[in-house]
Structure 1
Amino acid sequence: MRRAAVLLLAALSGAALAAQEISAGAGRLHGIGGKAATYTWQLQYLRKAAAPWGWSLTWINEGHLPGHHQDGVALQVWRLHRMEHNNLNLGLGLGVYRTFDTFRDAEPDSYGNGHALKPILSLRARYPIRGGPWDAFVQVNRTLGPEQRQTQAALVGLGTRFGTQAPAGPALPKREREAPANELSFLFGRTILNSFESEATEFLQSFAVEYRRRLSRHVDLSFTYCDEGGIDAARRDGVAAQVWLSTRTPDRAWMLGFGAGPYACRTFPPREEGPAADTVNIRTSGRISMLVGRTLGGHWGARLQWNRTATRNHRDTDALLAGLAYAW
């Protein structure tokens, strides 16, 4: 996973503007070897490389199988093929899937947060809607590995295409070269604990301040202070450093990003343990994030950001934040 991410960063930092796709789908999932079924949905970003190849980043939610609430992010390489006599596009994707699993523990009313890497295989058929930028698609995802960890899902959904392959010749247009390199965001929202009860803070109780530096057309670096609010079982705040894969529409009106990096945080014991146990610990966890941004005019933009903190003490959280960004 890390090696693949490094290769992607190297490719993106010098890549020309290529055809890109954003899609959302929903459907039904079941565990291999079991009768139980549940819902599933996904958000996918796919970028075409040298024909007929492409790669994608996908967030997958695998619903609620008995004793498991699982989701995660998949990184895949695709072999794409367009039929000669119609506009049907077929794809075969193979990659790795980083899972986050909230599972029932052996003790009553107890749970755990598991993290794993597993292979994932996908098949997709996509067809344009009346020749416009929108497509309808059907996709099947199959995760591999030990039998008790395998799932299979069938989804239908819609996607949109943007960007074109840049012609050889002059470098970036002037407006792209002069795009602001710095950004400061102020974000507010709520934090949800990844337990079976999904305890959450009040709205606007969680907040973050983020500085972002644009390193190249598709690579950003950010430093974020985040206070996750007052969930009694996961009271913490800290600083995250993340590297982002990002893309913007040609007019720079919209921005999409996926970030990952370490999160150094202070953790506080539950209040019910009393002041005698009020000891602060420093922990380092992993954090992955997804971002959607919209330019509002001038230096200002709107931001919607989701952050998943992956811990080693079964206190994974989701921070859902929104706010304003100032770029210069």
Structure 2
Amino acid sequence: MDLPSRIILAVAVNAAGLARAAIIAALTCSLSPNAAAQEFSALAGAMRSNDPTGTSYAWLFSYSTDISEHFAASFTWQNEGHIPDHHRDGHSVQLWAQTRLFSPQFKLSAGVGPYRYYDTTSANSGGSYDDDHGWGVLYSVMANWYSSSSPWFYQLRLNHVETRSVDTSEVLFGMGYRLKQDGESIYSGSAAAGAAKRDEVTVFLGQTIVNSFESETSTARSLEYRHAFGPVFKGSVAWMNEGDARLIRRNGIVTQAWLEPSFSGDLFTLGIGLGLYIAVDSYHENDHGAFASGILTMTTTYRFGPNWIGRFSWNRIMTNYDRDTDILLFGAGYRF
């Protein structure tokens, strides 16, 4: 089978998941700079599962924006910890109903949305494990306490996940930060600050972690070019080498579309990217040629001076042959 046919086949296999993920990202992150409120929060806590019954840790990152006074939308990445035969995490978009009770500083919210999960499970046939992908529903109740003098706030959250596999419940607590998104004017500059740069080249070094029960690791590296088409939409092309993690020895070309708004005068960004990873895996038992997999990435940057930035990217490679990986990359970039 030639490379174009391999790509078409891989896209067909992953199309449903990638399309839903793209809708999730677009609904959540295609934000207006004039949105009433945007927030980022990080929480940690405990998880309990049923069938099998077990307990573990849990943590999540969440980015939310108000739609109106009483409704909001959010994108969440959640890790549900480790229980026997299941190491699961995933992402969700949720719609929220919210109200402020007793005080303007206290907000109570309830949300629901689809949950795309990635679960390392015991193998059904052959091998030592399977990378199971599927869909469920995430239900949440949340309470926020805001400071009247600081952008920081406290958050308590209860989650319940229902899937065709394991159902879980989580109790999480943490902190969040209220954000001020930039508009198109950052590219024209002002008397106080120069214009933001649209192009970026970044060199990365980090670690590959195989989504298996042993979590095999290797050194990863990447070189990426990124272009900003506006204050939110970006595109990138990169070369990525995942190293030799015993189960995979993979490298290839990554192309992604991004929703990556900037904040506080282009001081930092938060983003999510979706795309294709056209790679060669020397350890692929049935295919040593180039093939395509899906890739989902969360990224953040901080700007040092007018041109230099530091970037962290967490890449999830979504395969159809039980070789999913997380690639955690730290990079130094130059904007021009």
Counterpart check, 1:135 vs 2:153: yes
Residue among 286, 305, 321 paired with 2:294: 286
How many angstroms apart in 2 are the aligned matches of 1:79 and 1:5? 23
User: 1:253-264 alignment to 2 at 5 Å?
Assistant: 253-264=267-278
Percent identity of equivalent pairs: 31
Q: Which residue of 2 aligns with 1:37?
A: 55
Stretch moving more, 120-129 or 76-85: 76-85
Letter in 2 for 1:49: I
Contact 2:143 2:157 in 1 (8 A): yes
Give the C-alpha shift of residue 216 in structure 1. Answer: 1.9
Residue of structure 2 equivalent to 1:312: 320
CA contact (8 A) 1:17 1:163 kept: no
TM-score (norm 1): 0.87
Compute the displacement of 1:280 (Å): 2.6
- Name the aligned partner's letter for residue 90 of structure 2: G
Shift of 1:14: 7.1
CA drift at 1:248:
1.5
How many angstroms apart in 2 are the aligned matches of 1:165 and 1:253? 10
Question: Is structure 2 residue 304 aligned with structure 1 residue 296?
Answer: yes
- Alpha-carbon distance, 1:106 to partner: 4.6
Q: Secondary structure at the match of 1:216?
A: coil
Q: CA deviation at 1:180?
A: 1.2
TM-aligned CA deviation for residue 29 of structure 1: 0.9
Residues 165 and 94 of structure 1: CA distance in aligned 2, closer, same or farther (over 3 Å):
farther
SS at match of 1:180: coil
Matched, 1:267 2:300: no
In the alignment, structure 2 segments of 5+ residues that lack a partner are 1-16
Residues 9-33 of structure 1: CA deviation (Å, up to 9, x unaligned): 4886572343211111111111135
Q: Quote how far apart the aligned CAs of 1:288 are.
A: 0.6
State the shift of 1:6 in Å: 4.4
- 8 Å CA contact 2:151–2:177 kept in 1: the answer is yes
Structure 2 equivalent of residue 95 of structure 1: 113
Count of aligned pairs between the two proteins: 314
Alpha-carbon distance change, 172 to 150 in structure 1, aligned in 2, over 3 angstroms: same
Counterpart of 1:226 in structure 2 is 240
- Point out where structure 1 has 5 or more consecutive residues left out of the alignment: none
Distance 1:165 1:32, change over 3 A: farther
* Range with greater deviation from structure 2 (70-79 or 27-36): 27-36
1:124 aligns with one of 127, 142, 151: 142
User: What CA distance in whole angstroms lies between the structure 2 residues aligned with 1:295 and 1:123?
Assistant: 35
Q: How far apart, CA to CA, are the structure 2 residues paired with 1:140 and 1:63?
A: 15
Q: Deviations over 1:256-285 (max 9, x none)?
A: 111111111111127xx9xxx9x7322211
